[in-house]
Structure 1
């Protein structure tokens, strides 16, 4: 079906990709756009973008994504997006504890940074702790056998504020938002009598809404609405923790670059409003195949799979191994914070693909009436200012011409396999969220 600017378009999910899609369609002159979001406000607590900050970088091992990252950074500096972008620089480190895989990945990344002509003008190779402290003097830890380089063109964006701020702009520009657990929660898609064409959505309150095109932008929750998506897009989560700082401590760390130890984890300058310092450990993450109750052989966040008990058990907790990894990072970099309590602990869910490529495509056999956006793989937020442009190009072109972003047809016998530990740029073994729940219950039973 051909669409025009008056076509009725529904976007299910008000996270960074859903908001970006609405932004670019509205700018292109589309006049009937409705965003459905189960939360009463943006950003949704279930959205991966409901976060203080995300790394904005252009460096990839793959020039394809490097070019897109550079395009995104250029857009982050423009009027609508600039309030949320902080070009603090990006200090990339490898600790002395790193294994062989991590060493190889770091060496390859450092070589790329110093030889890619689009990156190298911004990159400085560093030797020893004192040179590292020239770019981040606050790193008073030993930095034992650390290696590093600094990229001054990169930094981070305040993700929650970006979703909230751009969403508010869209409301003023005429985009409709249907929010809240009853009216904004899409429980199912509606199809025509032949079962092929998607003609709308049904919400929790029982209302059927008719549309010409539906865009599913639910991230890790996508397979709960489009089940076949779960055959190649795995819901996966990583731990996040914070340290509450005083105003004076915030001042000490103000302006530090993103400090990213590839084998341990990363942190950012503190958020000035909340005075929280965010940390994330690096690893293969956690899926939820064993906890799924609604869809067999599909990983979904517990809230989407109906496992309310597991969802509650994951609240305000991170696994002991992840906590130990973050404390090792702090002991080596900011030792005065190494024993401080972690607060606002959580797991953050993403939609993950085996090759880390996105999916921006029509669902097969739906007469081009249903688009899915999935597979952010932990590197999707940085593309928020440009992502919606690719959705618009798909809509106007009629088919996905980039083979990397097409729908994947997976052998059903292989669906449900967890390949998380095999992803080339991650370390460790993938695990299940049920393992976290068991660990927490065992720990609490001993108290």
Structure 2
């Protein structure tokens, strides 16, 4: 007979969202919280275990906003309040400014839409010289061929992602949350179903972790544990780091984030390890697998390399912006998974057919910046409270009707690469870093 362990609340996933949820519930006084994950903390494959993530303040939400605008403005308002004022989160936010730009006419239209919806003053960038003025002399040595964009000098920047993830974990543990994070004791084999209820989960060591409430927050791996009715598409992006000297790291300190909608982005270097993160921008990769019913799924896998084509795109970004680094050897690289909903709005709700189960998934590329708000959203759902108003709750509801005849290859408004979602099965060569 399998061993059994009991808790009041079981959280599946110790990544960004799992830690945020555990922290908020513990802060509200909940006890008996247990978090399970199949990787030691911090997980090497967690999207949040990263050097940095973009963070940007949004406009103040208004009742006259469209639903989509209202959602993002409200979620960002809650999250940025924490990044700026919560003593736990604030040390990790760097208000350096933000540049949104593009090299193609089509992608530039997205930049214009962005500029037109901003409530604050932003500066247009229409030439190489305009871009160069945004950073210290000698940083942007590229020709910026075809680039145009806008510069927001405050109210945006980046957060030290892995530092914030560790802080959430440590504070939650201090408040009494139990973390079990290992390949054997923490890896979930299955959720435990009984009639119309979820009673917990079984781990690889055979232990049944019974719980009064289970919260599924396992990111891109969540769809392996529950039928989401095509609401989730695990999608992967690509990143790399390259090293700088200690002197170089000082020169490139406090740079505004430069985000090329159809090229990629880079953020100021880590002052401790002297590494700069670079990402190529594209609609994403998926890993299609056909199940026994003929249905297609995208199945995540860990890889601490990237396709050679992604490296080529990153070096193109560097050639156009910082050619002094275009041939710099990368010190690390990996693919980074998230789960896209159809409309890229989060899925946070009590399961309508399974009692005692809350789902918190669908970061859709925006999950880390919003992480301080996620714990609040989930805690409100669990407690049936209204700190997050009903309009937001309706938008994050369980909504399989949006996924009927889902187009698994939809770019979902993203640009870059060849302007299409890519198939890992087509990758001919991977880097060897």
- Smaller-chain TM-score bracket: 0.7 to 0.9
Deviation by residue 1:247-279 (Cα, 9 ceiling, x = unmatched) = 122112111111111110000001122221111
In structure 2, stretches of 5+ residues that fail to align are 1-5, 60-67
Say whether residues 1:348 and 2:336 are aligned partners: yes
Name segments (4+ residues, structure 1) moved above 6 Å. 291-295
The question of 1:378 aligning with 2:365 is answered yes
Tell me, yes or no, if the aligned pair for 2:101 and 2:108 is still in contact at 8 Å: no
Summarize the alignment of residues 9-28 of structure 1 with structure 2, pairs less than 5 Å apart.
9-28=9-28
Secondary structure of 1:29's match? Answer: coil
Question: For 2:222 and 2:126, how far apart are their aligned partners in 1?
Answer: 45
Greater Cα offset, 285-294 or 229-238: 285-294
Distance verdict in 2 for CA 1:433–1:217, change over 3 Å: same
Range with bigger deviation, 283-292 or 427-436: 283-292
Shift of 1:129: 3.1
| DSSP-derived class of the 1:62 partner | helix
Distance 1:341 1:392, change over 3 A: same
Residue 105 of structure 1 pairs with residue 107 of structure 2: no
Distance 1:431 1:293 in 2: 23
User: SS state of the match for residue 381, structure 1?
Assistant: coil
Query: Taking structure 1 as reference, are residues 236 and 292 closer, same or farther at Cα in structure 2, changes over 3 Å only?
Result: farther
| Distance of aligned partners of 1:85 and 1:183 in 2 relative to their CA distance in 1, 3 Å threshold | same
- The RMSD of aligned alpha carbons is 2.5
Following the alignment from structure 1 to structure 2, what is the Cα–Cα distance between the partners of residues 291 and 280? 30
TM-score w.r.t. length of structure 2: 0.88
CA distance in 2 between partners of 1:232 and 1:87 (Å): 34
**Normalization by structure 1: what TM-score?**
0.85
**1:412 to partner: Cα distance:** 8.6
CA distance in 2, matches of 1:297, 1:21: 31
**Counterpart for residue 149 of structure 1:** 150
In the alignment, which residue of structure 2 is the partner of 1:433?
424
Larger strand percent? 2
Match of 1:169 in 2: 171
**Contact kept? 1:54, 1:158, Cα under 8 Å:** yes
Work out whether residues 250 and 270 of structure 1, in 8 Å CA contact, stay in contact via their aligned partners in 2. yes
Rounded to whole Å, the distance in 1 between the matches of 2:402 and 2:127 is 49
Q: 1:92 aligns with which of 75, 91, 100?
A: 100
The number of residues matched between the two structures is: 409
Q: What does 1:272-283 align with in structure 2 at a 5 Å threshold?
A: 272-283=271-282
**What runs of 5+ residues in structure 1 fail to find an aligned partner?**
1-5, 303-310
Report the secondary structure of 1:205's partner residue: coil
Question: Structure 2: how far apart are the matches of 1:293 and 1:179?
Answer: 31
Where do residues 44-443 of structure 1 align in structure 2 (5 Å cutoff)?
A: 44-59=43-58, 62-77=69-84, 78-95=86-103, 98=104, 100-113=105-118, 116=119, 120-121=120-121, 123-137=122-136, 138-151=139-152, 152-192=154-194, 195-226=195-226, 228-229=227-228, 231-290=230-289, 296-302=295-301, 311=302, 314-320=303-309, 322-367=310-355, 369-397=356-384, 401=390, 402-410=393-401, 414=405, 417-421=407-411, 423-427=412-416, 428-436=419-427, 439-440=428-429
Instruction: Determine which structure has the larger helix proportion and give its number.
Output: 1
Q: Per the alignment, in what secondary structure is the counterpart of residue 192 of structure 2? A: strand
Measure the CA separation in 2 of the matches of 1:295 and 1:31: 43
The answer to whether the 8 Å contact 1:244/1:343 transfers is yes
Equivalent-residue separation in structure 2 for 1:412 and 1:143 (angstroms) = 39
SS in 2 for 1:382: coil
Distance 2:232 2:306 in 1: 25
Task: Write the distance in 2 (CA, Å) between the matches of 1:154 and 1:18.
Answer: 25
